[in-house]
Amino acid sequence: MHVIECDVPASSALSRELIQSAWFHDSYRVPLLRPGLSIVDIFFALFGHTPRWMKALLIARNAVAKWCGLEAPTAGEILKPTVRASYRVGDKIGPWPIFFIGDNEIVAGRNNKHLDFRLSVLRVKEGDADSVVVSTICSVHNLAGKIYLFFIVPFHRTGVRSLLANAVAAKRL
């Protein structure tokens, strides 16, 4: 199964202006073979099955972020994300606050003093085919944000591709 790098779909709630002005953005697409899943089910099919190596890196990164005075998820939010019966804007899904939620998309993320990021999980229908597109947008505010992304982007790219490929291979999507 190949994860396909793509553009942020035009149907995404992520604004074109935000995408164009972002310091970093990427998007990856995989087929959705279980079209009856809700957008929350799709989110947790991806981010509810994080491999141990990725959890360890996230916990270490978050410890450093907290030490630097930044808001970051707790180890508990990384190790065992809570699945709720319903979600709305402002709630946390996994470790991130929700900025937008609709039938076909969730946009979550976090704002910090060095950068703001948004993660979109979007169900896309093209003809008879359904797919899932995960997009990430990062807007930096200072040099610390640029340095952070320099080191994190390679792990991010590998991690997102891994989550998508694993979800398809395990038939969670």
Q: What's the pLDDT at 1?
A: 60
- H runs (alpha helix) in the chain: 16-21, 39-47, 52-67, 75-79, 143-169
Which of 125-146 are b and which e, b meaning 16 or more Cβ less than 10 Å from the residue's Cβ? eeeeebbbbbbbbbbbeeeebe
DSSP H or E stretch at residue 30:
strand 24-31
More confident residue, 127 or 104: 104
- CATH number, domain at 112? 3.30.530
> Does residue 100 surpass a pLDDT of 80?
yes
Q: What's the pLDDT at 98?
A: 97
- 163 pLDDT band (50/70/90 cuts)? very high
pTM: 0.88
Rounded to a whole number of angstroms, the CA Rg of the chain reads: 15
Work out how many domains the chain is built from and give that number: 1
pLDDT tens digit sequence for 38-93: 999 999 999 988 877 777 777 887 777 777 666 777 777 776 777 888 999 999 99
Q: Could you list the residue range(s) of the whole structural domain that residue 146 is in?
A: 4-169
Contacts of 28 (CB under 8 A, 6+ apart): 3, 4, 5, 6, 133, 134, 135, 160, 161, 164
Give the span between the Cα atoms of 18 and 25, in whole angstroms: 10
